[in-house]
Every structure is written in structure tokens, then in C-alpha cells.
Amino acid sequence: MPTSDFTELLRVRKPDTEQRTRQLALKLQCLMSHSDARLQTLAGNYYEYYQSMSSPGSVLCSLVLFEIRDGNMYYQRIERITSGEPTSRKRFVYRGVALMLGERIFLADSEHNHQIELTQTILYPDYVKSHEKLFGIKLGVSANRQRMPCAVRVFLERAPAQSTLRTQLRRCGLYPTNSSDLPPYVFSAVDNRQSGPHHFQAYLDA
């Protein structure tokens, strides 16, 4: 293609890309402006539990760090995966934004390094205990070769305020469903067998 034609093509395309970006940013900004102010009490660190999408039969414990920036709630979700050998230890970091709309908390994030998937979570806020425990449903894709879309129950519990970040991260990993290292109420909260009969519903009675 002649240089002049190629330059004109780029000149024409660039405004369209910028306009789409602005439209998306404005839409997100509008949603964030409607987010309930009560969401700010969510700030802090949480253990997140759910049945692993990639390792069936195991419960994955991750660490979610919520923080307020410029009046909005952002978070990082850290997954620490081990398979028994120190050299096999892997860590994945997801970054996202939290909104509270219509009495529910919505989380959307993506894996920071590869940017190949979005994970979405909807939580029931716990007003009585200042968001000490939250229950909901997570939608994502397994990290194994099948890349299977999955929906699972998810349970978040606030990490003890006196514990250090290093201590909290050590707790993260994969646990067998019969593990004695996690309290029984965790397994009850993420039990996906009670899922209907007509919809995959969040579990509320842990």
C-alpha cells in the first residue's frame, strides 16, 4: 500500500478506537457513580473459597485485597497454587473493580499477566456483621486444557485484622474437600450440590 494511503487509513481508524474507549470508560464511570456508598465498608483483606474449576475435588483458598482509591473500590485477588513441590508453586494475580448495585456486590477482574479471561462474581452483602462474611456465585473458566466455563458457589470471610499479609498468603492454596485445615462451615458454604432445582443459587445458610 502506498505510504499516503496507509497513513490515511491509520488516521481514519484512530478516532474510532478512541471513541469506543471513551464510551466504555463513560459507561463504567456511570455505573461506579451509582455504586452504593455502603460498599466502602468492604475495604480490607478476605479469604475467598470455592470449588476449584481446574482441580475438581479441591477447594481453592485465595486472598482478596479491597482498597478505596479516588472514592471507588478496587481489588486484587491472589491465587497461590502448589502441588507438593516448592518448584511447582505458582501465583496468579487478578485485578478488578467492585460495585454495589441493587443491594448486591458485583466483582469483575482479569488475570494481570495474560489478560485472556474475565472473572465475574456476585455477592450477598452481610449488613449485620459489617461484611464479615459474604456468599455468592462466581463465573469463570478453568485454567486447564479444557478451558471449561464454570459457575460455582463462592464464600468470602474477612481475614483477622491482627494477621500479617505473609500469614494470610500462607493460608492460600488448594485443599482436599476432606481437609481438616479448613473449618467445616467453609465446605458447607461452597457445596455446589445444592444448586436448584431450577437455578444455580448462592448458598446463604452457612
Give pLDDT tens digits for 91-129: 889 999 999 998 899 999 998 877 777 899 999 887 666
Same domain assignment for residues 44 and 120: yes
Whole-prediction pTM: 0.82
Do 49 and 125 belong together in one domain? yes
How many whole angstroms separate alpha carbon 199 and alpha carbon 190? 16
Residues 64 and 152 in one domain: yes
Q: What is the number of domains present in the chain? A: 2
Cα-flanking dihedrals φ and ψ of residue 9, to 5°? -65, -45
Domain limits at 13?
1-33
In tens, the pLDDT along 124-148 reads: 887 666 788 999 999 988 777 777 7
The tens digit of pLDDT for each residue in 191-201 reads 988 777 777 77
What is the mean pLDDT of the segment spanning 170-195?
89
What tens digit of pLDDT does each residue of 87-96 get? 456 788 999 9
CATH number for the domain harbouring residue 154: 2.40.128.120
* pLDDT at res. 153: 93
- DSSP character string of 131-164: SSEEEEEEEEE-SSTT--EEEEEEEEEEPPTTS-
